[in-house]
Structure 1
Amino acid sequence: MSENVQTAMFEILKKIQGDITLVRTDIGHFKLETETHFERIETLVRKQRRGGAAILVMMRSAAGDFEERLAAVEQQIALLDAREH
């Protein structure tokens, strides 16, 4: 009977070792996939930041151009007002 118990314990330990090896392999694959996903996300975030910065530059340029045109119109109105008085 003692030999059967030892054989059963040995089989159980071998099964546990196999399960541990399988879990380690699965964790390795999960880690690799997670790192790949994070790299993709980081790439997308960088692209979004660059796109946002480009839009901000264009908006500032458009606002500056609008400001210049508005100042020119205000100046012309001021000249017209000066002529009337």
Structure 2
Amino acid sequence: MSDTVENATIEILKGIQGSIAQLRAETTAFRVETLARFDKLEASLRKDRRNAAGMLVMMRATAGDFDARVSEVEERVTVLENRAS
């Protein structure tokens, strides 16, 4: 019986060792995939920041242009109001 217990124990330990090896392989693969995804996210984030900065510049330019046009219209309205008076 002792021999059977030893054999069973050894088989159980071998199974545990195999499970640990498989877990390590899966963990390594998961880590590689995760790092690749992080790299893609970082690249995308940099691109989005550049795009947002460009849009901000365009919005400021558009707002400045709009303000200049409104000022021109206000000046024309003022001139017309002064003529009518």
State the TM-score, normalized to the length of structure 1.
0.87
Structure 1 segment 5-20 matched on structure 2, within 5 A: 5-20=5-20
Deviation at 1:80, TM superposition (A): 2.1
| 2:23 corresponds to | 23
Give the aligned CA root-mean-square deviation in angstroms: 1.4
Counterpart secondary structure, 1:49: helix
Q: Show structure 1 runs of 5+ residues with no match.
A: none
The TM-score with structure 2 as length reference comes to 0.87
Distance (whole Å) between structure 2 residues aligned to residue 70 and residue 12 of structure 1: 83
**Deviation above 4 Å: which 4+ runs of structure 1?**
none
1:1-85 to 2 correspondences below 5 Å: 1-85=1-85
Once the two structures are superposed, residues 19-69 of structure 1 have per-residue CA deviations (whole angstroms, 9 ceiling, x without a partner) of 101101111110110111122122212212221221121011011101101
Q: Which stretch of the first structure deviates more once superposed, 27-36 or 48-57?
A: 48-57
Residue ranges of structure 2 left out of the alignment (5+ in a row): none
